[in-house]
């Protein structure tokens, strides 16, 4: 079964914190030649510029983004082999008219599933889109239902598909915002990325049919085009009378990945018969403006030491450094000074609640809050930068000091001191009495001896 796609959420991460609501740019992009547009960061959904991004617009060939994505998921989930041979049927041609783009893959012709994917997307072959739909879902109607289910799961609530290839239908529509959601989700598929970023592909030939060389109509990928953009990774263009000229594209520069959607541009024909295909030129202007104006900028790093926390009974340490548990990176207008962000640190330990060894690196010691102009951007835990082991000597000394600092201990010491003083006084008194007694006995003996000597002389 086709793996369900998680709804695209714009929510904060905390492993490495990326802000989804940075300070707005003071510079806006003006005079965009398109009915609607949006440019946003691929993974976070952070919108840098938008114009009428929620108004409905013909889906046209942008429909092929969803078709290719579902086909890529089938291969990546091992539901279908990319080299499975598929035989083209009459049914795949049932709604193909003279205005359709095709690769003339005729009924009875065999082609691998992966070549059908390339033919559908790179070669703009509407019959290949229908054949993919038939192989995946058994019928085109069932496949279209699957496309609409996937769109809703991606959060593209203002999109409705009526066919697999994008041939104009009054009831088939999308928005610039929805195309951003669909394309950003699709680019998470490695196979979708591989196919959609290919400019030229050669299909496998058979005994009956020669190989085909098909090229991508996305001029941002064409090195020989004046619209070539070396930072462009992938995209999907469209051109119809009803919907005008459109382009969805992904570009990346200096670690910043942006998806641009331009819907309903036109083509300018100059006097010298040269042309300006504005779906390409306006997309280039959007990309160049955004990459010049914005960048990921580090506000906090995990190596930043923000506080010294005193520690008791530490072995060879009187304090431990506190650092952010995770880094904080914001997508900012380059004109915004980094020192305009205020870091307010709070330590959870103080004199009344001291930090006591042992402490392990990573133990939470406090938190830091980052704000700018009153807006809170992140609250990140502060953790110990290093281990601090317990010192046995310091611990014992501390226990003694703690014990002696209690009222009970002081009372006991007072009693013991009083007893000791009383004992000393008694010993001194005893010694004095004893000395007096000994003196009296000695005097008495001396008197007896003297008396005997006297008697002896008298006789």
Q: Residue 87's domain is classified under what CATH number?
A: 3.40.710.10
What are the pLDDT digits (tens) for 9-54?
222 333 344 444 444 444 456 678 999 999 999 999 999 999 999 9
164 part of a folded domain: yes
- Whether 101 and 157 share a structural domain: yes
82 part of a folded domain: yes
What are the pLDDT digits (tens) for 60-101?
999 999 999 999 999 999 999 999 999 999 999 999 988 889
Share of residues in the chain with pLDDT > 70 (%): 87
**What is the mean predicted confidence (pLDDT) over 109-120?**
97
Strand partners, 276: 268
Report which DSSP code applies to 193: H
CATH number, domain of 360, equals 2.60.410.10
- Whether 424 and 439 share a structural domain: yes
More confident residue, 179 or 410: 179
What are the pLDDT digits (tens) for 309-361?
999 988 889 999 999 999 999 999 999 999 999 999 999 999 899 999 999 99
Cα torsion through 368, 370, 376, 379, rounded to 10: -30
202 part of a folded domain: yes
Residue 434: predicted pLDDT: 77
- Whether 379 and 253 share a structural domain: no
- Whether 247 and 176 share a structural domain: yes
Contact 412, 378 (CB under 8 A): no
Kindly give the residue spans of alpha helices, DSSP state H, lying in 159-277. Answer: 176-186, 190-196
- Whether 376 and 275 share a structural domain: no
- Whether 80 and 196 share a structural domain: yes
Q: What is the span of the domain harbouring residue 227?
A: 17-297
329 part of a folded domain: no
1 part of a folded domain: no
Residue 388 sits at the vertex; the CA angle it makes with 387 and 393, to the nearest 5 degrees, is 155
- Whether 143 and 287 share a structural domain: yes
- Whether 69 and 164 share a structural domain: yes
- Whether 95 and 207 share a structural domain: yes
The total of structural domains in the chain comes to 3
Neighbouring residues of 134: CB distance < 8 A, sequence distance ≥ 6: 89, 91, 92, 140, 143
- Whether 67 and 214 share a structural domain: yes
331 part of a folded domain: no
401 part of a folded domain: no
Distances (CA, A) of 226 to 23, 59, 201, 240, 348: 35, 26, 21, 22, 60
8 part of a folded domain: no
- Whether 378 and 264 share a structural domain: no
- Whether 122 and 259 share a structural domain: yes
């Amino acid at each position: 079964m086709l793996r369900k796609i998680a709804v695209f959420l714009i929510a904060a991460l905390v492993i490495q914190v990326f802000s989804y609501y940075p300070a707005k740019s003071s510079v806006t992009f003006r005079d965009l030649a398109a009915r609607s547009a949006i440019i946003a960061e691929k993974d976070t959904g952070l919108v840098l510029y938008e114009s009428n991004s929620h108004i409905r617009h013909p889906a046209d060939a942008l429909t092929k983004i969803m078709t290719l994505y579902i086909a890529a998921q089938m291969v990546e989930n091992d539901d279908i082999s990319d080299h499975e041979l598929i035989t083209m049927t009459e049914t795949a041609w049932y709604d193909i008219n003279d205005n359709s783009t095709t690769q003339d893959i005729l009924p009875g012709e065999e082609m691998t599933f992966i070549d059908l994917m390339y033919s559908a997307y790179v070669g703009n072959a509407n019959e290949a889109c229908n054949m993919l739909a038939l192989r995946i879902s058994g019928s085109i109607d069932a496949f279209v239902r699957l496309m609409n289910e996937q769109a809703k799961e991606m959060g593209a609530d203002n999109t409705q598909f009526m066919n697999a290839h994008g041939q104009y239908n009054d009831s088939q529509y999308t928005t610039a915002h929805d195309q951003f959601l669909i394309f950003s989700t699709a680019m998470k598929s490695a196979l979708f990325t591989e196919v959609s970023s290919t400019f030229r592909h050669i299909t496998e030939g058979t005994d009956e049919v020669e190989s085909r060389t098909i090229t991508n109509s996305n001029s941002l990928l064409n090195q020989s085009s004046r619209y070539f953009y070396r930072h462009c990774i992938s995209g999907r263009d469209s051109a119809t009378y009803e919907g005008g000229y459109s382009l969805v594209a992904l570009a990346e520069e200096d670690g910043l990945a942006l998806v641009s959607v331009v819907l309903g541009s036109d083509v300018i024909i100059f006097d010298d018969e040269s042309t300006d295909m504005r779906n390409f030129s306006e997309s280039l202007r959007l990309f160049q403006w955004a990459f010049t104006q914005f960048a990921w900028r580090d506000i906090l790093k995990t190596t930043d030491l923000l506080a010294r926390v005193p520690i008791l009974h530490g072995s060879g340490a009187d304090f431990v450094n506190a650092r952010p548990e995770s880094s904080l990176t914001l997508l900012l207008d380059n004109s915004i000074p980094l020192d305009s962000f205020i870091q307010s640190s709070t330590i959870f330990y103080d004199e009344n609640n001291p930090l006591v060894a042992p402490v392990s690196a990573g133990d939470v010691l406090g938190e830091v809050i980052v704000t700018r102009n009153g807006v809170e951007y992140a609250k990140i835990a502060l953790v110990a930068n290093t281990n601090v082991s317990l010192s046995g000597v310091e611990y014992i000394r501390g226990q003694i000091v703690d014990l002696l600092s209690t009222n009970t201990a002081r009372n006991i010491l007072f009693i013991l001191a009083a007893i000791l003083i009383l004992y000393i006084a008694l010993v001194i008194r005893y010694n004095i009495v004893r000395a007096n007694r000994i003196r009296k006995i000695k005097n008495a003996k001396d008197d007896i001896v003297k008396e005997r000597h006297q008697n002896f002389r008298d006789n």
